[in-house]
Amino acid sequence: MEPIKIKGTDDTPEIMLDAGNDVFEISGRSLPEDVTSFFEPVINWLDEYAENPKPKTEFVFKLTYFNTASSKVLLDILMKLEDISSSGKEVIVKWHYPEDDEDMKEAGEEYADIVDVEFDQLSY
């Protein structure tokens, strides 16, 4: 699979999806003008990855902010990870949040309650 590398901007997150090097990360701010088209390649890549996932997938989120539209896509991504997990593969979500950001911490807790995957909350 070809890796996806999207450079972050003030309004879009940096995205690194590289199965060959075990890198699965979304970081920065997510408030793209058109959330659907921005994340479409990510969703398609994850669909393809889910057909033949590695025995262990560690997916890292290091978001400092995301808007409501992005929150829905993030849930879609987490649901795809849950599908991989339910197929017998190990999936770990690492949810990083700024130590003083209660909203981002709570967002991680809410996602952890929704999806059935190992979910580690890590402050920095």
Q: What is the rounded CA–CA span in Å between residue 110 and residue 37?
A: 25
Per-domain residue ranges of the chain: 4-123
Q: Report yes or no: 14 and 42 within 8 Å, Cβ to Cβ.
A: no
Return the pLDDT at 114: 97
pLDDT confidence of 123, banded at 50, 70, 90?
A: very high
3-state class (DSSP) for residue 78:
helix
pLDDT tens digits, 1-24? 999 999 999 999 999 999 999 999
Token pair in block for residue 102: 């209660």
Q: How many other CB atoms are there within 10 angstroms of residue 21's CB atom?
A: 8
| CATH for 4-123 (3.40.1000, 1.25.40, 3.30.750, 1.10.3470) | 3.30.750
Per residue in 22-78, pLDDT (tens digit) is: 999 999 999 999 999 999 999 999 999 999 999 999 999 999 999 999 999 999 999
Q: Which helix (H) or strand (E) holds 118?
A: strand 118-123
Stated pTM of the model? 0.96
